[in-house]
Amino acid sequence: MNTQEIAQKLYEHCQNRTEAQGLKELYAPVATSTEAMGPPGMDLTVTGFEAIQGKHDWWENSFEVHDVKMEGPFINGDRFCMIFEMDTTEKASGERWQGKEIALYEVENGKIVRESFMLQPMG
């Protein structure tokens, strides 16, 4: 698959809430993921399929997602980005949170090898 095809498939997985399937299908086994912020004790950068899956599992178990709006994908060579606007509630605290982040993905040999998330500062 080329970058545009990977970007479109990832967009569809995010839209359909089938991200776990997308990880298996689209990510390289040694992919790296870097978050803008995370819970205490969690590394902001993780490497490998299992670590990225663990990060996604943590998100699913920690937040109730009320709504997600997405823009993109925006493609430039072997990179693409998407914009996510989220409305969530943290399950442990009950605190509702709205935020926007940009996700940048890098592709090599037909797989996502790196993802980086940039979060809009919270006021």
Set out the domains of the chain in order of their start, with CATH numbers: 3-119 (3.10.450.50)
Q: Helix, strand or coil for residue 69? A: strand
pTM: 0.91
Report which DSSP code applies to 36. S
Q: Identify the band that residue 123 occupies on the pLDDT scale cut at 50, 70 and 90.
A: low
Rounded average pLDDT over 47-67: 91
Top-confidence residue, 40 or 59: 59
| Chain position carrying tokens 């698959």 | 1
Closest CA to 113 of 80, 84, 89, 85: 80
Q: Which helix (H) or strand (E) holds 100?
A: strand 96-108
